[in-house]
Structure 1
């Protein structure tokens, strides 16, 4: 079976290298984990704390220990029967700086580079000044200012044997064909032979080899004479002097790159980047030679048995994700024969893909599923009250003074992100469709401006990340989403632009336009389709996850990656439907509840979810808090800081992530917590792009907000407010813990493969990165696990998080003992009857006579009451509520979490009995016939 039993996600970096994981393997194995799920390991930008800025596809990161350390870790894993899943980044590479040799070779040689097709560069853009060049928008000031100020310099790097232009940490290799001009700038007789030899290099491609030989000769000469030998040459290009400025400028104008002010990127960039990050350049992994180069090392690691499967990062950035995934699957299948006989089954393959509500992962990709954002949304939503929409809308609008509907805010965010962050990408897609129009006699008069207007509205209206249309047409799923976007765009466009929208519809795989098949070049159309689909995904992500999530905060537990804040909750039947579909289509899909990208920890979300159950009470809490913090707000010319929306989201954040053991009079603890929240606050305000942003930060507003938070958390004048915040957290915490335990049990029992994000076996009240990547206290977790306490025995001390770990351990050990049940077992929703039916959810897994009956409490706030100290609902509160049992169950069921044996009678189990010791239950049993076949007794704990 290639699907892991369960993974633990580890974030490797220089402070937590591969060797640091070796002492943890025994703990993970004993816990029940089958595979480590590793962050990217290929060489990334020095100091990277995430690994998604790969700079070399051919080596493992030396900061992590390199291939030797990987071998040591895998040897330890193999000794415990475990495997390794590797996160790979095929869509982009880290560029800028001095460390990506492939990128630097492209800057040095342009289209002559052997790597000219690695990056998604438009070598023939509309701007004639950029034809054959790469725009490099890294200058901190306009080009002329940077040049005259001397921040652009010429240097000779003796280690690399090359002339370079430099700008702080950035280096730009000078093309060797122009070394003759460089050397001619200084009156040095001993340079004349080399200068003349460079000048005589033929302009044709054949001259490249000769230029490289001369470059090597110069390097050898410098090695003998010392780099100071070239000091007169360097001095002649000193741009702080008029002659040097002119000389350096003329030299730079002839390069295969064009240096530019960083602000030009949004309008003029002629290469695809990751989202709006100019330090990450898009890779054309759809090209066979690029695919092979980018994957050569990871394929070798797979064939050698050092890696057993892959997680593909940002699959939607690839021009044709389906073709890429199928190609990757074919190669893994081919390499399986080369893997060592003692390696675990390989080939597990999942993709990082955000799915809109109701959007299925497309068929035919030949992957095992997604990385679990869809499940994270489903399990979170079913633990919210879906009927709280209107009440929480009212609370939000009263507190912020903003009643703008969510849909209008989403549209505004999309327009802003498209305008301010993706102008170049929009221009690329527009010009691509314009070229399509020009190739048809019937459409050649359609203007660039008209196409841009129609395309802009289509992108703004797009309901999902992207479609997967190619030149052959659309799938039914693509028809659905494109039709919705086209209808919305049509309502927003004036009638004069409707025919252009119809043309774009046709070009994107709709009804063929007259004459289209006769004159349209498929490559041109295919390129336009790809550029459109590579545009909609980042617009969707940046406008929602990195903008609207920080503006619209009626309930922050629904502002999570993979979730839609407009959807408050999900019914049990909706949750069951999603689980059933996953069991049918992608039974090995990853199940996540926390990731390196989450906006707030899984248990902080579960605490805040309680507010959906008590919106009226929350309204009173919030009003009191706003009154208490009002004296702490700062008066600015533009208004008080923080602004109402920022203040409400800050208060929710403080309540949701408040550490369970933090006292409001613990000065050191409050200071440490305030420091963490301050990092979140700054990021949140800049991502919101309302009062400040990353590009033009309003330091006055930011400083005022930082002072507000500091006073609130540490100053005497904030004492009453922080005491009230702590009281709110205490009020929500027991019901939040019930939600957390329910979420945990569901993740480890429903169809799919559960992933445990590092450290979240204890309560996870982390905030957005980098807070969610802080060091994990593994000694404390190991000690708690080795103590071996049963979950029910830890209920009294639930605040320390050990109960969550104990639940995880019991369920993982059940998965290890019954792999077929969890991998292939049925999923059968169960009915609950009685007055508390809406407060529980239940299902049955069944395989070959073995059954697992799972029941969890949901929406427990009302039954716990405001004064509850423990996350346990009384028998009186459950009353006559009972779980209705299906036929064919074993006579006895063992409670995996409560250490009890239950004998269901009359086809029902009262929930008061089922939840007598814990608010969650997982009952395992085996029929007598199945026990006899195996010679085993009914399992007992």
Structure 2
């Protein structure tokens, strides 16, 4: 069972800092959040980040509050105000990586001193492969010199080379060979660059020269070696100091799977912060659980979202939508994932594959398998790896599920003879070289899984976008009340204080946006018509039918939204680039993206003008959508775990992929209840009422038994703990309701009167 959280946790409220929101602005919202019923403010990363950062995950200094957010004084003002309001602060921390930039003072020292730098051990750099490489240029160094984009900078004590708007520190003495007072030439620039501990190259073509561990394939982020205790102590000193001062009441650890040894890191963190609640960002596949023994409260909520969607999806309608998308999507999602993985290993993750192969060859030196066979074996295993990562580096041997990947790799057309020896390294945790290989391999599989599935195939297998989501998979099937109850029972047993989220900054679509597409499963004839119209409009614009299916769903989510055309166009462009087959981030097909956006714009207008549906159908859709929005909220706020409410989602919130879901919340609109839409009032009242109930009966919701039954017109949630109980009816959409169970209906109440419940204390 996971570590138990401290008392007082009722619900967290996730706030996105930056983009016009600083720490003092958050402090001003404390009265509102207290009235809402929140117990803990959950802040996105607040450490000094790269200039112009919109999210804070590109950390420059993990021991300094970003001055653009108000700095240390603003943080302490917020901490004191939260304490006075009887609220806690949860911080999102980023131990896995920092920004690869001369702005990073520790990296700047490494650039100047190389492996001899006192900070060299902080960063995961493979000096064996060459100097630290920056793939940042959009031309040759000589061309940039001619254009004025490169010049000497700094002074005699700290010489630098200005490249664009960054000053790259120069190695001591490297200017001595240049004639004094002579301007740089193409040849002297080449000689100067050759003397550095770092190199620069074209952002498109020099990725193979990268020598640092990246965050996924983002070359501007560099891995931090938290496996080194000295690095941990240095990068966590600010956090530990403020925990000890009582300014921090919880931590959320970003991208735990990027670390070399996640379990060891978490044990070190637990020792450093005591009983403070800790949550980890971890994505699990269906049937997978968080590794046993991690000293944390649980995961950050992705694993909760998919079962909610599965429960509320009408099976017959889902089948109708999938049939309406036939012929324009990958026929086999698993095969499509493997195809994409093979392409990524060849064209994107070459440096990572090289590093893993070198680690394996070092560990297998005694048996001397051919280097190419080792590399092939690693690639074949990675193609079939069924989870984001195993934890052999933390001495957890692979089980039957991972052994299945070995058998699948052996069934490939040309299996490598090194498959067995390479796989066996994962079962040799006492061998330091084998554990180094395991860490490198697991870091690769995590990145490869995320980029092939979440960031590629989820934009190709798009028959039903609610399943193309973090923590879900396109081929999922609906579940009934008993299946959902089973999921929640396991959650209550294993991680009773995990966060239960519905929307985050990482979700492809907000929960209320997903609910719009879930509603189509209750109106399958409308869904079929909308998909057909989208396909027809895509064909008119010489686009693959798939983008008509995608555009139809985006249009349904967005047709009532402000700035719908611009926001949808930005999203379609990002979706096409993520899918990588009609456009890409590296080589965007702007005209193709504009044609796809035009399909969405046309569909949104046709929906607004009642050309795709009748007024009666629109009314039915909006009623069903409203029911689903409230049903999701009720399921979240009554389930085992700690509800995590993403900023603005206490009202109806339609948001698409980042950066759309980071848009600044209109706080003023929340203060003007009289001007709220009726659907916003209902959701806000439901949220407040259920959070009040959780605050009144904390033990019941933290430890109580969870049961869910389906009636003719509602789902019935019941929580029981000792002499306390709570029952609530969650109204279902008025079409395609599940068949009533034979057991007696439990309790009374509805979403319209959420606290009209049967209870005893």
* Matching residue of 2:458: 549
In 2, Cα distance between equivalents of 1:852 and 1:258: 63
Query: Structure 1 length normalisation: TM-score?
Result: 0.76
* Matching residue of 1:173: 169
CA contact (8 A) 1:310 1:349 kept: yes
Question: 1:921/1:4 Cα in 2 relative to 1: closer, same or farther (>3 Å)?
Answer: closer
Q: 1:851 aligns with which of 722, 725, 729?
A: 725
CA contact (8 A) 1:90 1:313 kept: yes
Question: 1:684/1:23 Cα in 2 relative to 1: closer, same or farther (>3 Å)?
Answer: same
Query: Equivalent residues in 2 for 1:132-531 (5 A)?
Result: 133-143=131-141, 145-146=143-144, 151-157=149-155, 161-182=157-178, 185-186=179-180, 232=181, 236-239=182-185, 245-333=186-274, 347-386=276-315, 390-398=319-327, 400=328, 402=329, 404-437=331-364, 439-440=365-366, 443-444=367-368, 446-470=369-393, 472=395, 474=397, 478-494=398-414, 497=416, 499-509=417-427, 522-531=431-440
* Matching residue of 2:544: 643
Partner SS for 1:595: coil
In 2, Cα distance between equivalents of 1:417 and 1:732: 40
Query: Equivalent residues in 2 for 1:776-815 (5 A)?
Result: 776-784=665-673, 798-799=678-679, 801-815=680-694
In 1, Cα distance between equivalents of 2:76 and 2:492: 35
Matched, 1:755 2:760: no
CA contact (8 A) 1:831 1:842 kept: yes
In 2, Cα distance between equivalents of 1:27 and 1:721: 38
CA contact (8 A) 1:658 1:765 kept: no
CA contact (8 A) 1:137 1:265 kept: yes
Partner SS for 1:263: coil
How far the C-alpha of 1:508 sits from its partner, in A, is: 1.5
> Deviation string for 1:826-875 (max 9, x for gaps)?
22x25456xx3xx6433321223221113324464336xxxxxxxxxxxx
In 2, Cα distance between equivalents of 1:720 and 1:29: 38
* Matching residue of 1:701: 592
CA contact (8 A) 1:467 1:481 kept: no
Question: 1:556/1:812 Cα in 2 relative to 1: closer, same or farther (>3 Å)?
Answer: same
In 1, Cα distance between equivalents of 2:686 and 2:650: 9
In 2, Cα distance between equivalents of 1:844 and 1:471: 39
In 2, Cα distance between equivalents of 1:723 and 1:523: 66
Partner SS for 1:693: coil
Question: Whose Rg is larger?
Answer: 1
CA contact (8 A) 2:300 2:499 kept: yes
In 1, Cα distance between equivalents of 2:277 and 2:312: 30
Question: 1:505/1:733 Cα in 2 relative to 1: closer, same or farther (>3 Å)?
Answer: same
In 2, Cα distance between equivalents of 1:703 and 1:607: 24
In 2, Cα distance between equivalents of 1:777 and 1:686: 30
Partner SS for 1:55: strand
Matched, 1:593 2:502: yes
Matched, 1:826 2:660: no
* Matching residue of 2:3: none
Query: Equivalent residues in 2 for 1:668-817 (5 A)?
Result: 672-709=563-600, 723-724=611-612, 730-784=619-673, 798-799=678-679, 801-817=680-696
In 2, Cα distance between equivalents of 1:459 and 1:314: 19
In 2, Cα distance between equivalents of 1:315 and 1:832: 37
Partner SS for 1:852: strand
CA contact (8 A) 2:330 2:460 kept: no
Question: 1:847/1:57 Cα in 2 relative to 1: closer, same or farther (>3 Å)?
Answer: same
In 1, Cα distance between equivalents of 2:525 and 2:710: 28
Work out which structure has the larger RCO, using CA pairs closer than 8 Å and 6 or more positions apart in sequence.
2
CA contact (8 A) 1:465 1:541 kept: yes
Partner SS for 1:862: coil
In 1, Cα distance between equivalents of 2:669 and 2:589: 42
In 1, Cα distance between equivalents of 2:484 and 2:277: 25
Partner SS for 2:128: coil
> Deviation string for 1:631-664 (max 9, x for gaps)?
9x43xxxxx1x332112101111102332xx6xx
CA contact (8 A) 1:350 1:590 kept: yes
In 1, Cα distance between equivalents of 2:614 and 2:164: 47
In 1, Cα distance between equivalents of 2:419 and 2:393: 18
Matched, 1:884 2:744: yes
Question: 1:571/1:257 Cα in 2 relative to 1: closer, same or farther (>3 Å)?
Answer: same
In 2, Cα distance between equivalents of 1:619 and 1:432: 52
* Matching residue of 1:221: none
Question: 1:814/1:526 Cα in 2 relative to 1: closer, same or farther (>3 Å)?
Answer: same
Question: 1:174/1:288 Cα in 2 relative to 1: closer, same or farther (>3 Å)?
Answer: same
CA contact (8 A) 1:397 1:403 kept: no
> Deviation string for 1:58-99 (max 9, x for gaps)?
210000001111111122111111110000000000122x41
Q: Which runs of 5+ in 2 are unaligned?
A: 1-5
Partner SS for 1:255: coil
How far the C-alpha of 1:172 sits from its partner, in A, is: 1.6
Partner SS for 2:177: helix
Q: How many residues align?
A: 755
In 2, Cα distance between equivalents of 1:310 and 1:922: 35
Query: Structure 2 length normalisation: TM-score?
Result: 0.93
> Deviation string for 1:534-590 (max 9, x for gaps)?
000011111111111111110111111111111032222221111111111111100
Partner SS for 2:45: coil
Deviates more, 1:360-369 or 1:816-825: 816-825
How far the C-alpha of 1:422 sits from its partner, in A, is: 1.1
